[in-house]
Structure 1
Amino acid sequence: MVEERRLAVLRAIVEDYVATEEPVGSKALVERHGLGVSPATVRNDMAVLEEEGLIHQPHTSAGRIPTDKGYRLFVDRLTTVRPMSAAEKRAIATFLEGAIDVDDVVRRSVRMLAQLTHQVAVVQYPTLSASTVRHVEVVALAPRRLLVVLILSSGRVEQRLVELQHDLADDQVATLRAQVNQAVVGERLVAASTALRSLRADGPDATGPGEVRDAVLDEVVTVLVEALADHSSDQRVVVGGAANLARAGEGFDTMLRPMLEALEEQVVLLKLLGEATTGGGVTVRIGAEGPVEELAGTSVVTAGYGAGPEALSSLGIVGPTRMDYAGSMAAVRAVARYMSRILDESGS
């Protein structure tokens, strides 16, 4: 019971300090949180928490503020991530579902995260190298012209025109479409490219005489391999809400310059986001736990997103260690889930 009471005191200190930016005293804790014990007991608990390195006194006669270790214990003891309210869920859904393409989804997600958390939002584009082929559509626009549409699990859609040297009938186009999809659907990009290069029809000629069939396959394979090879968005990261740093509060001034410099470096941002995680999990790295030494005064909350069970990329928020962890974790998880759903629907 004593241990639980001290955890309740730590939780109250974290919540009050995040809300007020002021060191927290024992009397204020008793008045605000109804801990059911005297200020003297709370002072004793605070002394123990300080000995354990969970809180500290910034200057003489001041109250206490959490340390990185204290924030870590606070986050680890959150039994569940606080659910978003119905109004917040509707706002996220309405805002994100109005997107017209993947670029718009990413831009909207950054804005939404920054608005919900009042921190800097970072969203990595869906990673193509981790994507799979969802479907390939082959449409005859004319007897000698095909439209080839490549749809990836990341939500990306590529269209290519193929000019043919020979006429193709509708049934031949349908057979060609089936052959290509059988070879690549469900495959990652590298494996799909390999499958396309080795694709040769078995059995009776499906598109006419052998040389006609091979020529059509070669043309279709060429444009699809080119589309699969374009990995230009793998390392793209979008940032929003940098203006929130101006409201980070006293004590964060020394972090502004390294934070702003980091926001200009894609490599640093990718390190901050870390590896995409699956299963809807949220990762919180506090202070020196982060991968960038210069940003040891910040915390990073991230989650993976993507169509299907496997995460394609990451998104998250970066801000001072004095942040609303419960609210930030809920917002990051919610936006990641909505992005996953939108990408899944766009590729279906």
Structure 2
Amino acid sequence: MESVNSTLGRIRPRIDETEVLVANTDERRFGVLRAIVADYVSNQEPVGSKALVDRHNLGVSSATVRNDMVALEEEGYIAQPHTSAGRIPTDKGYRMFVDRLSEIKPLSTAERRAIQSFLDGAIDLEDVLRRSVRLLAQLTRQVAVVQYPTLTNSTVRHVEVVSLTAARLMLVLITDTGRVDQRAVDLGDVVTEDGVARLRTVLNSALAGQRLAEAAAKVAELPEQAPAELRDPMTRVCTVLVESLVEHPQERLVLGGTANLTRNVADFPGSLRQVLEALEEQVVVLKLLAAARNPGAVTVRIGEENEDAQMRSTSVVSIGYGMDDLLLGGMGVVGPTRMDYPSTIAAVRAVASYVGQILVGS
């Protein structure tokens, strides 16, 4: 009788060969899927087996490609839009393609230099964000969106107090994230230059370096702590200043490139209007960026993965921007599921990196 070890010795190679065969088949079919995605993204036409063999070096026959396409269709990775047509990727197919991206096409040195030069020319936070949106929209040819730095993550860098007239001041709140908020204050009475300087000193001593929520709480205490002769002007100043320390939802987003969606209406059959309406709702867009929790971490939501029903014909590529563990906000692009994912991910990642460096390093 043969020993157990001898028997297992003959069985193991067969198991290994089967595993290798399955792995090779999976890789080959993924190569077919990747080729279908590339052609469909490029041409917006259903892809047939003959076109795949002609355009791509798949290393197998047309019959094998046809069989692989049948298997991919049965598993839900591709679909036939109508009889006698080629195949197009499904949301599930795009998801597999994105999840198995081994390399993200890096931006060229010239592209990176152009991004840095364009953003370095910004004069303040709002300019940085608006330039970022324009860049993303141009680089990806999609809709770009950038969230203002959340105030809960900001600290007060400086409060400037400037006399406009003897009885009117300008308050300028500057945060560490580059936010600059200017507000006028009517004092109702004359305050000397020495009084203005004392107001400035008290405000910065109490608020500089404080997170905005903590600063808002401290502002309420300042009038009682002020000298009697400055109590009234300090009360008026603090009443106005607290408005700058509170989150303003209407200022949370910058959106650009919406017209890019209209270039290929066929990508949104019967739903383009819904997508445009959804983009006007800031709450919807903020939810799209909600997955961006860590600076530099890219999230891709494809089609049905989007929570809002109006956005299920789109894909969203989002990322958090900031530096190290400091998350300031989110940014990303919205476009059709037929998207050049490698280039889009590279562009979003590069712009977010530069914005984080500018705001945190400023």
Question: What TM-score bracket applies, with the shorter chain setting the length?
Answer: 0.7 to 0.9
Which of 47, 58, 72 aligns to 2:95? It is 72
Which of 32, 42, 67 aligns to 2:55? It is 32
Q: Which residue of 1 aligns with 2:27?
A: 4
1:290 aligned to 2:290? no
Deviates more, 1:145-154 or 1:110-119: 145-154
Q: Is the 8 A contact 1:154 1:307 kept in 2?
A: no
Amino acid at match of 2:63: A
Q: Provide the aligned C-alpha RMSD in A.
A: 3.4
- Alpha-carbon distance in 2 for matches of 1:212, 1:328: 59
- Alpha-carbon distance in 1 for matches of 2:224, 2:103: 54
How much has 1:217 moved relative to structure 2?
6.5
- Alpha-carbon distance in 2 for matches of 1:35, 1:51: 21
Considering fraction of residues, name the structure with more helix.
2
- Alpha-carbon distance in 2 for matches of 1:7, 1:248: 27
How much has 1:142 moved relative to structure 2?
12
Amino acid at match of 1:33: H
Q: Deviations over 1:72-114 (max 9, x none)?
A: 1111111343321111112222222222222222222222111
- Alpha-carbon distance in 2 for matches of 1:275, 1:244: 24
Q: Is the 8 A contact 1:127 1:154 kept in 2?
A: no
> Would the alpha carbon gap of residues 332 and 251 (structure 1) be closer, same or farther in structure 2, given more than 3 Å must change?
closer
Q: Is the 8 A contact 2:161 2:171 kept in 1?
A: yes
> Would the alpha carbon gap of residues 140 and 240 (structure 1) be closer, same or farther in structure 2, given more than 3 Å must change?
closer
Structure 2 counterpart SS, 1:229: coil
Q: Which residue of 2 aligns with 1:150?
A: 173
> Would the alpha carbon gap of residues 147 and 56 (structure 1) be closer, same or farther in structure 2, given more than 3 Å must change?
closer
- Alpha-carbon distance in 2 for matches of 1:79, 1:344: 30
Unaligned runs of 5+ in 2: 1-22
Q: Which residue of 2 aligns with 1:228?
A: 245
**1:177-326 correspondence to structure 2 within 5 Å:** 180-181=203-204, 183-198=206-221, 211=228, 221-222=238-239, 224-229=241-246, 231=248, 233-235=250-252, 237-248=253-264, 250-306=266-322, 309-326=325-342
TM-score by length of 1: 0.81
**1:329-344 correspondence to structure 2 within 5 Å:** 329-344=345-360
How much has 1:46 moved relative to structure 2?
1.8
Deviates more, 1:61-70 or 1:100-109: 100-109
Structure 1 counterpart SS, 2:270: helix
Which of 96, 120, 127 aligns to 2:150? It is 127
Q: Which residue of 1 aligns with 2:124?
A: 101
* Identical aligned residues as a percent: 58
How much has 1:333 moved relative to structure 2?
1.6
> Would the alpha carbon gap of residues 230 and 165 (structure 1) be closer, same or farther in structure 2, given more than 3 Å must change?
farther
- Alpha-carbon distance in 2 for matches of 1:321, 1:129: 34
Amino acid at match of 2:348: V
- Alpha-carbon distance in 2 for matches of 1:153, 1:26: 56
TM-score by length of 2: 0.79
Q: Deviations over 1:236-278 (max 9, x none)?
A: x332222222222535341222122223322322233335422
> Would the alpha carbon gap of residues 213 and 244 (structure 1) be closer, same or farther in structure 2, given more than 3 Å must change?
closer
Task: Give the total of aligned pairs.
Answer: 337
How much has 1:308 moved relative to structure 2?
6.5
- Alpha-carbon distance in 1 for matches of 2:166, 2:277: 55
Deviates more, 1:191-200 or 1:62-71: 191-200
